[in-house]
Amino acid sequence: MKIVRLKNIGAAVLACAAFTLAEETMDTTWRKLTAEEERVIVHKGTEKPFSGKYTKHPAAGVYACRRCGAALYRSEDKFDSECGWPAFDAEVPGAVRRQADADGQRTEILCATCGGHLGHLFTGERLTRRNTRHCVNSVSMDFVTEDGLDKSFSRAVFAGGCFWGVEYYLQQSLGVIRAVSGYTGGAKEFPSYKQVCGGGTGHIEAVEVLFDPRQTTYETLAKLFFEIHDPTQSDRQGPDIGEQYRSVVFYRDEAQKATAEKLIAQLKANGFKVVTRLEPAAKFWPAEPYHQDYYFNKGTTPYCHAPVKRFE
Ligand SMILES: [Zn+2]
């Protein structure tokens, strides 16, 4: 018996299903494993400590499942635990499943998409602020460099008022690898917060989302966007007033545009006078570091945004 994750339908997406190994390997999108990878990923083995290629590996990028390619961990969450295996203190939301290990002592971690064995989870060691260590076998993962992210994953850009709050909620959505606060829509290069707030740059506050289409969909994220800000407010969002706070979906292709149009039509049918604009995605400029992960670093929740159900 294995537990498999049903894609794209929210947090409570675990369902039990009986799979044999033969059925699993019939998934043609999975990579063919070497004997050592199969020993670890399928038969829950452990690589020798300090032997893995990602144990000491500080490069920026994303760690994906070796078997199915699903995004598992961000390099930002990797730390040197000196335990002999790669260590992370957070996973891509929803990407890692936990279950009691057969030894009855530890917590096993598995890829939530394909069920492949990753390693074990430890808490309470006080090694990082999150107080959590995902101890992962290098052979269970592939590393995707920053330059390779767009080949493996997808992006979306949303603007709905103060980017702190939009980023806060999108970052926690299943399958979201990164949510970055920044500026877009204007012509000025390297815009600063002060310049954007001062007006005249044409830029607005926006959030760029890097997501894994194996684990979520653009529609799921766009729906969330429409439910974490008020799409009926024009040139403002709650207490934040100004054109830099207007509601915009910056679509990256015709499929994203069609999805946003469909959702806006649904909202209008539900009685909401939506003012959200659709604009083609332009150059996205990440905001200053102190704007990133603002609420996480502050340890509070948004003053400017709150989830409201609008599609039911
Ligand atoms: Zn996988």
- Sequential DSSP letters for 54-83: TSS---SEEEEETTT--EEEEGGGEE--SS
- Domain holding 186, by residue range, is 153-298
Indicate whether 46 belongs to any domain: yes
Indicate whether 112 belongs to any domain: yes
Number of independent structural domains in the chain: 2
- Shared domain for 177 and 139, answered yes or no, is no
- Shared domain for 266 and 209, answered yes or no, is yes
- Shared domain for 44 and 135, answered yes or no, is yes
User: Which of 68, 111, 162, 304 is the catalytic position?
Assistant: 162
Distance of CA 59 from the midpoint of ligand 1 (Å): 22
Indicate whether 303 belongs to any domain: no
Instruction: Please answer whether residues 152 and 69 qualify as being in contact, where contact means their C-beta atoms are separated by less than 8 angstroms.
Output: yes
Q: Compute the distance between CA of residue 77 and CA of residue 61 in angstroms, rounded to an integer.
A: 11
Q: Compute the distance between CA of residue 63 and CA of residue 268 in angstroms, rounded to an integer.
A: 40
Domain boundary pick from 121, 146, 171: 146
User: Which of 16, 135, 197, 304 is the catalytic position?
Assistant: 135
For residue 136, the cross-strand partners are 119
pLDDT of amino acid 6? 35
**CATH number of domain containing 71:** 2.170.150.20
Domain boundary pick from 146, 170, 189: 146
Instruction: Say whether 162 is catalytic.
Output: yes
- Shared domain for 48 and 159, answered yes or no, is no
Q: Compute the distance between CA of residue 249 and CA of residue 279 in angstroms, rounded to an integer.
A: 6
**CATH number of domain containing 263:** 3.30.1060.10
pLDDT of amino acid 16? 35
- Shared domain for 99 and 129, answered yes or no, is yes
- Shared domain for 164 and 286, answered yes or no, is yes
Indicate whether 184 belongs to any domain: yes
Q: One-letter amino acid identity for 194?
A: K
Distance of CA 296 from the midpoint of ligand 1 (Å): 28
Instruction: Say whether 111 is catalytic.
Output: no
Indicate whether 24 belongs to any domain: no
- Shared domain for 65 and 163, answered yes or no, is no
Which residues, 6+ apart, have CB-to-CB distance to 2 below 8 Å?
17, 18, 19, 24, 115
Alpha helices by DSSP H, listed for 229-300, are: 254-269, 294-298
Per-residue pLDDT of the chain (312 residues; tens, 9 = 90+): 333 333 333 333 333 333 444 444 557 889 999 999 999 999 999 999 999 999 999 999 999 999 999 999 999 999 999 999 999 999 999 999 999 998 889 999 999 999 999 999 999 999 999 999 999 999 999 999 999 999 999 999 999 988 999 999 999 999 999 999 999 999 999 999 999 888 888 899 999 999 999 999 999 999 999 999 999 988 777 777 877 788 999 999 999 999 999 999 999 999 999 999 999 999 999 999 999 988 888 888 888 888 889 998
Distance of CA 300 from the midpoint of ligand 1 (Å): 33
Distance of CA 309 from the midpoint of ligand 1 (Å): 32
98, with CB counted inside 10 A (0-12, 13-18, 19+), is middle
Q: Compute the distance between CA of residue 189 and CA of residue 60 in angstroms, rounded to an integer.
A: 24
Domain boundary pick from 112, 146, 180: 146
- SS3 helix, strand, coil % of the chain, rounded to 5? 25, 30, 45
Indicate whether 63 belongs to any domain: yes
Indicate whether 105 belongs to any domain: yes
Cα–Cα nearest to 85, from 30, 47, 35, 58: 47
Indicate whether 238 belongs to any domain: yes
Distance of CA 257 from the midpoint of ligand 1 (Å): 30
CB atoms within 10 A of CB 74: 18
Distance of CA 71 from the midpoint of ligand 1 (Å): 8
- Shared domain for 80 and 189, answered yes or no, is no
CB atoms within 10 A of CB 263: 21
Report residues near ion ligand 1: CB below 5 Å: 65, 67-68, 70, 111, 113-114, 116
- Shared domain for 134 and 157, answered yes or no, is no
Distance of CA 138 from the midpoint of ligand 1 (Å): 13
Rounded to the nearest 10 degrees, the angle between the axes of helix 218-228 and helix 254-269 is 40
- Shared domain for 174 and 116, answered yes or no, is no
Q: One-letter amino acid identity for 127?
A: L
- Shared domain for 203 and 162, answered yes or no, is yes
Distance of CA 172 from the midpoint of ligand 1 (Å): 20
**Dihedral (C-alpha) 224, 230, 235, 241: value to the nearest 10 degrees?**
-110
Instruction: Please answer whether residues 181 and 292 qualify as being in contact, where contact means their C-beta atoms are separated by less than 8 angstroms.
Output: yes
- Shared domain for 106 and 184, answered yes or no, is no
